[in-house]
Structure 1
Amino acid sequence: MPVAFNFLIAIEPLGWLSSGAGQFATSGNISVRTRTSFPPHTPTLSGLYALNYNDSELEKLQLAGPFWAKTDDPQNFYIPTPFNYSIADWKINDRLIWNSNTHQWQTGSGVALSDLPPSPASWISIHDWHQPQQTQPNPWIQFPVCHSRLKLDERQLALDEQSNLFQENVIQMNPATCLVYLANLPLPNSWYRFGGESHIVNLDCLDLAVDTQQLLNQRPGKTFTLISPTIWGSNRLSYTEPINIRNDEREPIWDIEAILTQPPSAFRHRLGGKLSRGRYAVPAGTVYVLNSPLMTTWQEWPEAWFPSEGYSFKRWGCGLALPLVE
């Protein structure tokens, strides 16, 4: 079966990007403050496809991400580092392996670890996937911007009970980097308004490198890692693995021996003017160890493994995984 992704979408911000994603909190004298959610999930990109395709064509849309790359080499994009890699000074100094006999994660030298420290947010090059040695930190910085109400007759702040402050977290990416998504349909190269605050970005659509298509078409095997945020389960509940629901009985589909993960991340989007149900995604970098190898490619996984809200969440790249060397 051919790989689902034929195109690489490189998005270069022409200024700031929003990181709020509609999540709000209150703190002190700031009445509304957006929480950080970055980079944007794939439903954000689907809005650009709605400008260029009709409804029947959009039924076939398939996306994955988010990733990032250096603007001078977008094909060598960066994906989230698996959580079983031990990192120091952005170098991979060890790899944790699941020991089926002791039921513990252990280092390559055989030292068992019962409590695993959380890995820093980092990324590895897709070209270095088979032998990664170096990782990269997030290529962006976040800083707050406060908005407040002005007096109607003066260019001064209205310091009264109605002077509510709104703190927006904005993102400045390294000028030499861009966001990257994978898709099965092309987009015209152009400038677009992207994200909740409609910031201007430059978009380039490239043919995805053949070797990357071949990598993504591999069977996950016994040990694999997610490279995209993933929501499994039904329309009402989210799980850490695919679940069959029959007569209100929940039955795991995979025979899982171990999972190495971190706290879930928020996943919510607006599509067709409607706000989706708030969900929590299993983070990219999560490692699964199965008792029996998974011998079907991601493209062959049934959409029933994922919730559906207008479209199956597989459309957004949920579950996209790469095998790990055991």
Structure 2
Amino acid sequence: MFKYLITIQPLGLMYGSSGAFLSPENLVGRSGMKFPPDAATVSGLFFSTNKSMSFAEHQELCENLVVAGPFWANLDQLDDFYVPLPRHKLIAQTTSDEWQLINHHWCLKSQVKTDEPAAETLDQNESDYHWLRLDYWDDDPEIIQQDAKEKSPSVAEKSWNYVPLLHPRLKKNERHVVTDDGLFLETAVQMQDDTCLVYLSTYNLADGWYQLGGESHLVEVHSIELTPETPIQQRLQHPIKQAFALITPGVWGSNTLSYRYPKSKTFAHDYHKIKLLTDKAVPYRYRIGYGEQKPESFKNRAPGRLSRGRYAVPAGSVYVLPKPLNKTWWEFPQEWFPEKGLLKKFGVGLCLPITIAGLNKNGVERGEIDQQN
């Protein structure tokens, strides 16, 4: 079980440009941007700050370190941080709605007037918010929206903004811009002053300033010990019944192919009875490896190799199973994840139980995989 809450607060700007291509609509390096940093990036911070560890200590860290995220929180309310909004809850600034299961089909509560599923869908309507505060996880969309108006922000879009930054390329021997192509425009990320990034971890990082990411960006890191009474600890101890929502991307399947759900009979006896609410897949890659050097030489190891690319089910996706799973995320079998790599140690597929309106006690009994993209 996770033991620490790792908070990361950027000291200034962080670059958000990341990707192999530029779109015709955006030629300033913002295409494919990736923020906030995923759990694999924070996992690398544990190893880069402990280069003097022995081989045995390194092995122990590899076996027991689990990092999950990213999330974010207000500095005055770290316990109830923000997690991705489950896709069955649609919350806009003026209206709210919820997906239900009626006669084994997804339909909106506002469209249900009879026992038959509504013909219309919400293809063109999306939630105005994508982050939900943890203490509102079990509340109805109407309550969440009302509290967002009257009390504190129960939902949010994000806690950072993208700002253009004119970046100089200086001469080697003087602090002047080079004559040709001396300036180029990049997209930087600026977080709100009263917010921070949040990650769950089985190990703590010493409080202090760290370099995280490229361009020598500095962040302030704090480790907060989690107690059994902490809200996230209590929720993660609840076993998954018939429905759950991902709060981190899920990488399922095999070593060569990506799937929308684990390819294992222990997950569901009949995959054609799984109900799924999701969006298009997201790329998932991480760096790992030590080049040609032996693993014993940690101090002078070569840069890590870029691992095989995969696609992940995005955070917020909702699964409804034919029968209760009765397992927590920590009890998920290792064979549900691809064998190569350390995917479960990067917190992929971390999920919390949810309640789906219209789901009877016998669960989903028939029908094919029903997904809303």
Tell me if TM exceeds 0.5: yes
> 1:19–1:170: 8 Å Cα contact kept in structure 2?
yes
Aligned residue runs from structure 1 range 242-281, under 5 A: 242-244=262-264, 254=271, 256-272=273-289, 273-281=304-312
Task: State the percentage of identical aligned residues.
Answer: 39
Among 31, 34, 41, the alignment partner of 1:44 is 41
Identify the residue that residue 240 of structure 2 maps to in structure 1: 220
- 2:213 is the counterpart of 1:195: yes
Identify the residue that residue 101 of structure 2 maps to in structure 1: 98
Which region of structure 1 is more displaced relative to structure 2, 278-287 or 190-199? 190-199
The aligned amino acid for 1:283 is: P
Matched position secondary structure for 1:293: coil
Among 347, 369, 373, the alignment partner of 1:317 is 347
Quick one: distance in 1 between partners of 2:21 and 2:58? 32
Give the C-alpha shift of residue 297 in structure 1. 1.2
Give the C-alpha shift of residue 43 in structure 1. 0.5
The aligned amino acid for 2:354 is: L
> 2:251–2:349: 8 Å Cα contact kept in structure 1?
yes
Identify the residue that residue 283 of structure 1 maps to in structure 2: 314
Which region of structure 1 is more displaced relative to structure 2, 228-237 or 120-129? 120-129
Among 82, 90, 104, the alignment partner of 1:78 is 82
Aligned residue runs from structure 1 range 5-24, under 5 A: 5-24=2-21
Identify the residue that residue 248 of structure 1 maps to in structure 2: none
The aligned amino acid for 1:42 is: A
Measured against aligned partners, the alpha-carbon deviations of 1:98-135 in whole angstroms (never above 9, x if no partner) come to 22x15232316735364223334521111222226131
The aligned amino acid for 1:96 is: W
Cα separation, partners in 2 of 1:271 and 1:154, compared to 1, 3 Å: closer
Cα separation, partners in 2 of 1:243 and 1:120, compared to 1, 3 Å: farther
The aligned amino acid for 1:314 is: K
Cα root mean square deviation, aligned: 2.9
Quick one: distance in 2 between partners of 1:310 and 1:156? 43
Among 20, 35, 45, the alignment partner of 2:32 is 35
Unmatched tracts of structure 2, length 5 or more: 145-153, 290-303, 357-373
Give the C-alpha shift of residue 149 in structure 1. 5.1
Among 84, 106, 109, the alignment partner of 1:107 is 109
Matched position secondary structure for 2:155: coil
> 2:240–2:326: 8 Å Cα contact kept in structure 1?
yes
Which region of structure 1 is more displaced relative to structure 2, 24-33 or 168-177? 24-33
Q: Which has the higher helix share?
A: 2
Measured against aligned partners, the alpha-carbon deviations of 1:141-179 in whole angstroms (never above 9, x if no partner) come to 0123344656789945645xxx39754321100010000
Identify the residue that residue 22 of structure 2 maps to in structure 1: 25
Larger Rg: 2
The aligned amino acid for 1:270 is: R
Identify the residue that residue 230 of structure 1 maps to in structure 2: 250
The aligned amino acid for 2:84 is: P
Cα separation, partners in 2 of 1:33 and 1:296, compared to 1, 3 Å: closer
> 1:255–1:292: 8 Å Cα contact kept in structure 2?
no
Give the C-alpha shift of residue 30 in structure 1. 5.2
Cα separation, partners in 2 of 1:107 and 1:305, compared to 1, 3 Å: same
Give the C-alpha shift of residue 195 in structure 1. 1.9
Q: Which has the higher strand share?
A: 1
The aligned amino acid for 2:280 is: P
Paired residue total: 312
Measured against aligned partners, the alpha-carbon deviations of 1:173-208 in whole angstroms (never above 9, x if no partner) come to 001000000011111111111123341011010012
Measured against aligned partners, the alpha-carbon deviations of 1:205-237 in whole angstroms (never above 9, x if no partner) come to 001242321211211211111011111111211
Cα separation, partners in 2 of 1:325 and 1:33, compared to 1, 3 Å: closer
Matched position secondary structure for 2:275: strand
Quick one: distance in 1 between partners of 2:68 and 2:184? 32
The aligned amino acid for 1:243 is: K
Aligned residue runs from structure 1 range 135-154, under 5 A: 135-147=155-167
Matched position secondary structure for 1:291: coil
> 2:16–2:30: 8 Å Cα contact kept in structure 1?
no
> 2:9–2:196: 8 Å Cα contact kept in structure 1?
yes
Matched position secondary structure for 2:77: coil
Cα separation, partners in 2 of 1:227 and 1:29, compared to 1, 3 Å: closer
Matched position secondary structure for 2:242: strand
> 1:75–1:208: 8 Å Cα contact kept in structure 2?
no
> 1:10–1:205: 8 Å Cα contact kept in structure 2?
yes
Give the C-alpha shift of residue 28 in structure 1. 8.8
Quick one: distance in 1 between partners of 2:199 and 2:331? 21
The aligned amino acid for 1:291 is: P
The aligned amino acid for 2:355 is: V
Cα separation, partners in 2 of 1:55 and 1:114, compared to 1, 3 Å: farther
